[in-house]
Amino acid sequence: MTLKDTLTNSEVALLGLLSEKPKHAWQIERDVEHRDMRSWTGLSQSTIYRQLTSLEKAGLVESTTDVVDGRARKVYSLTKVGLTAARDSLLALLGEPESPTWGIDLATYNLNLVPTDDALGALARYREVLRERIACWEATEEYMSSSSCPTHRLAVTRRPRYLLEGEINWVDDFVAELEVR
């Protein structure tokens, strides 16, 4: 990776975590797990190590070696170049909406292949799953609020809820259209 290459969302997430303080890879993994970041960052234990190596080669992070419980561990920290790259990437992400790829769009486009009653049943299940996910995000927001999380981090729990509520509105409208036909 060169500096002119675009950083992936998971790389930006790693740089953001390292902006808090230098960390071992296992500390990053623990933060990702504890903060439930896996669902929106694409970070897994194996990608964390691989991407830290890639970011270090690109000069965006640097490492030192610490001995913890008799074992040598790399501690990663953000470089000035890494901080600049993170800021630039964050501003680009904030300023340009992404075009999500949704499986439901593929199913809707080809709905003529499915009997209407079956489609209505599947959409009812889809709507129920959306409700369940909204409840999970509400519980996460409640937990984070009780943990005195900063507003910008609480926003990460609110946004999916609003998107899912909009999706429910779309499902309701679409089901009403299908029932009329």
* pLDDT band per the 50, 70, 90 thresholds, residue 3: very low
Give CA–CA dist 180/175, Å, rounded.
9
Instruction: Report the C-alpha dihedral over residues 38, 39, 43, 44, rounded to 10 degrees.
Output: 60
Give per-residue pLDDT as tens, 9-43.
999 999 999 999 999 999 999 999 888 888 888 88
pTM given for the model: 0.78
C-alpha 1/C-alpha 177 separation (Å) is 49
DSSP 3-state assignment of 78?
A: strand
The predicted model gives 145-168 an average pLDDT of 92
